[in-house]
């Protein structure tokens, strides 16, 4: 079965082809440079950029894979969560293609696709625990099957990636700042007492990162303001105080995520496998700490390589293939679900 995946939920237009569980190729146009000018994603610009790139990217993918459009059996597309205008571009393109080709059509939860993507690199085992940490979401799931995700916890305010990006902005780093903060943290000295581990003093599996962000903002304003020119042009010249702040903030986020993952595993004792996915899953310290956590518990961690962590369409094509193989599909009345339950 040849499955085309289409991803346009935020600021990346991406398409990929998966055949019999194997990635043939993928193409991606990032809009990060456009939105960096505004310090965050501008929804209207995002949908216009998707509209501009989706057709040429499809042609490029088919050319690179030496396939005809008529070979496609299933068109899978992210239906949400995401920006409405952006999702509509991908979904409308997918519906048109499926209708024209007589192919099956399937709308996917973008967050579930993030978590299933690691199946392209490692063997998936169910049931397992899933930690999804991206720019817009922080969720913990019990995953029973590729089509059965039971939400256990979620962020009540900012997502982990959002907290990184907002603090990165205050530090004068280019948007999105998460990856750069990770890089700077590696040469910084973390002070474990500098920032709080938010929202642990309770009995649930939810997160709240806005207080941590406020604590970091106050620290930066009092102690770091004006200490280096902004925006920081050359990362190699980053002062030690900046690296130390990144290391301390990074540690606070990672400690918090790990504490709730450990709590989730305590409550789901039959789970031996943890999948971690989403942009923040590329974080060096988070990967190390979760790996160690699972090793101590005699379990395993499945974490995709960095290119599969951030938004891409290989995950959409692969998740579509998994569900399509199991017989799932939608009719063309399916709608986008920008927010909430998908
Ligand atoms: O999954 P993703 O590409 O897009 C969403 O669906 O949101 O995640 C993007 C997020 C951004 O907030 C970015 O700063 C963060 O992932 N990110 C990182 C790292 N790489 C990307 N955060 C921390 N450490 C990283 N290495
Ligand atoms: Zn994403």
CA of 39 to the centre of ligand 2 (A): 18
CA of 278 to the centre of ligand 2 (A): 6
Atom of ligand 1 nearest to the CA of 159: 12
Q: Is the preceding peptide bond at 231 cis, omega within 30 degrees of 0?
A: yes
Q: What SS3 class is residue 151?
A: strand
Cβ atoms < 10 Å from Cβ of 83: 23
**Where would I find the H helices in 30-177?**
32-36, 43-65, 84-101, 110-116, 160-170
Atom of ligand 1 nearest to the CA of 176: 14
Which residues have CB under 8 Å from 59's CB, separation 6+?
none
Q: Is the preceding peptide bond at 233 cis, omega within 30 degrees of 0?
A: no
Question: Which pTM value belongs to this model?
Answer: 0.95
DSSP string, 269-303: TT--EEEEESGGGG-HHHHHHHHHHHHHTT-EEE-
Whether ligand 1 lies within 6 angstroms of the CB of 10 is answered as yes
What parts of the chain have a pLDDT lower than 70? 340-342
Atom of ligand 1 nearest to the CA of 277: 1
CA end-to-end span of the chain = 25
Ordered by start, the domain boundaries in the chain are 2-117+308-325, 124-303
pLDDT at residue 340, rounded to an integer:
66
pLDDT at residue 175, rounded to an integer:
82
Residue of 170, 251, 310, 338 best suited for mutating to test ligand 1, as the one with most atoms within 8 Å of CB: 310
CB–CB of 136/162 below 8 Å?
yes
pLDDT at residue 341, rounded to an integer:
55
* The length of the chain, given as a count of residues: 342
- CA dihedral 111→134→17→106, nearest 10 degrees, is 20
pLDDT at residue 15, rounded to an integer:
98
pLDDT at residue 231, rounded to an integer:
77
CB–CB of 325/318 below 8 Å?
no
Whether ligand 1 lies within 6 angstroms of the CB of 35 is answered as no
Which of 2.30.30.30, 3.30.420.40, 3.40.50.880, 1.10.645.10 is the CATH number of 2-117+308-325? 3.30.420.40
Q: Report which of 267, 32, 17, 274 is spatially closest to residue 133, judged by C-alpha positions.
A: 274
Phi first, then psi, for residue 220 (nearest 5°) are -65, -45
Rg (CA), the chain: 20
CA of 244 to the centre of ligand 2 (A): 28
What whole-number distance in Å separates Cα of residue 114 and Cα of residue 138? Answer: 12
Whether ligand 1 lies within 6 angstroms of the CB of 161 is answered as yes
Report the CATH architecture of 124-303. Answer: 2-Layer Sandwich (3.30)
CA of 126 to the centre of ligand 1 (A): 26
E strand or H helix at 119, and its extent?
A: none
Same topology between domain 2-117+308-325 and domain 124-303: yes
What whole-number distance in Å separates Cα of residue 15 and Cα of residue 72? Answer: 13
Whether ligand 1 lies within 6 angstroms of the CB of 113 is answered as no
CA of 134 to the centre of ligand 1 (A): 5
What whole-number distance in Å separates Cα of residue 307 and Cα of residue 162? Answer: 19
Annotated binding residues for substrate, written as ranges, equal: 132-136, 165, 178, 182, 283
pLDDT at residue 27, rounded to an integer:
98
Closest ligand to C-alpha of residue 11 is 1
């Amino acid at each position: 079965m040849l499955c085309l995946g289409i991803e346009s939920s935020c600021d990346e237009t991406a398409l990929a082809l998966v055949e019999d569980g194997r990635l043939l190729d993928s193409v991606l146009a990032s809009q990060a440079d456009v939105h960096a000018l505004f310090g965050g994603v501008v929804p209207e610009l995002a949908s216009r950029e998707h509209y501009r790139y989706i057709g040429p990217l499809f042609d490029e993918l088919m050319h690179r894979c030496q396939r005809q459009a008529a070979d496609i059996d299933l068109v899978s597309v992210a239906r949400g969560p995401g920006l409405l205008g952006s999702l509509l571009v991908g979904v409308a393109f997918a519906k048109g293609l499926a209708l024209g080709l007589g192919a099956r059509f399937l709308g996917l939860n973008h967050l579930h696709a993030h978590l299933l993507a690691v199946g392209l690199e490692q063997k998936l085992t169910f049931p397992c625990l899933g930690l999804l940490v991206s720019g817009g979401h922080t969720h913990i799931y019990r995953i029973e099957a590729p089509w059965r995700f039971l939400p256990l916890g979620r962020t009540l305010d900012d997502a982990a990636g959002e907290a990184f990006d907002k603090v990165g902005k205050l530090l004068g780093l280019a948007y999105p700042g998460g990856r750069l903060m990770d890089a700077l943290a590696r040469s910084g000295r973390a002070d474990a007492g500098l920032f709080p581990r938010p929202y642990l003093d309770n009995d649930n599996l939810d997160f709240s990162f806005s207080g941590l962000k406020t604590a970091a903002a106050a620290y930066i304003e009092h102690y770091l303001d004006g200490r280096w020119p902004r925006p920081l042009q050359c990362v190699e010249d980053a002062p030690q105080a900046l690296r130390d702040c990144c290391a301390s903030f990074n540690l606070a986020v990672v400690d918090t995520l790990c504490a709730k993952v450990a709590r989730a595993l305590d409550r789901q004792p039959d789970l031996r496998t943890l999948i971690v996915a989403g942009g923040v899953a590329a974080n060096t310290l988070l990967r190390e700490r979760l790996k160690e956590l699972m090793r101590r518990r005699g379990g395993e961690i499945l974490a995709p390589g960095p290119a599969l962590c951030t938004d891409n369409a290989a995950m959409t094509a692969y998740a579509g293939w998994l569900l399509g193989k199991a017989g799932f599909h939608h009719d063309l009345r399916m709608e986008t679900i920008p927010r909430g339950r998908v």
